[in-house]
Amino acid sequence: MSEGHSGYPKVPGVVTQRGLYYEELERGVLYQHRPGRTMTETDNVLFTTMTMNTQALHLDAAWSAEQPFGQRIMNSMFTLATMVGQSVAQLTQGTIVAQLGMNDISFPHPLFHGDTLYTETVVGEKRLSASRPGQGIVTMAHTGRNQSGVVVGQASRTALFLLKPTS
């Protein structure tokens, strides 16, 4: 392969990793985001203290051992942030304009240190923006599951997406 002007080999094309444009998002399709993310004690303690959350269920192992779950649980806001984060590369990287809101957030089962979080997303409603040409509004339902398939988090998220460029 010959070299181009930058010293790198000439290639037949370039592919840049990105999310999906509004038109590429399909309603009802299950998007599975991989890899999963194994939650650590460090994740929990750092996130909890960075956000000034002093909840003993996240920080105090001795006290938590006497509580109903028998151990510390992951901070639910870290679980939610990770669920959204896991969807970025596949769905929104470079194709989202703004997150508009979140609804119906729930954590039906705790996530513990050492659990692995896997997230999937289903696209629900889609409509073109009436006030922002070239953009569309999409509602997505995120579901987080642990390594055993148990649902540990759910959230509905609405975002403003770019339409596919015409050129």
**Structure confidence by residue, pLDDT tens digits, 64-115:** 999 999 999 999 999 999 999 999 999 999 999 999 999 999 999 999 999 9
| pLDDT tens, residue by residue, 12-27 | 888 888 999 999 999 9
Cα–Cα distance list, 6 to 12, 13, 14, 16, 40 (Å): 15, 15, 14, 18, 42
Cα separation, 50 vs 48, whole angstroms: 6
The token pair that represents 106 in the structure block:
């729930």
Q: Helix, strand, coil % (nearest 5) of the chain?
A: 25, 35, 40
* Fold topology of 22-162: Thiol Ester Dehydrase; Chain A (3.10.129)
pLDDT band, very low/low/confident/very high, at 5 (cuts 50, 70, 90)? low
Residue 158 has a pLDDT of: 98
- Asked if 124 and 141 touch (Cβ cutoff 8 Å), the reply is yes
DSSP per-residue codes, 17-72: -----GGG--BT-EEEEEEEEE--HHHHHHHHHHTT---HHHH-HHHHHTSTTSS-
- The domain spans of the chain are 22-162
**pLDDT of 33 higher than 80:** yes
Query: Which H/E stretch holds residue 160?
Result: strand 151-162
Can you count the helices (H) and strands (E) in the chain? 4, 5
Name the pLDDT band for 131 (thresholds 50, 70, 90): very high
**Above pLDDT 90, what percent of the chain?**
88
Distance, CA of 157 to CA of 104 (rounded, Å): 9
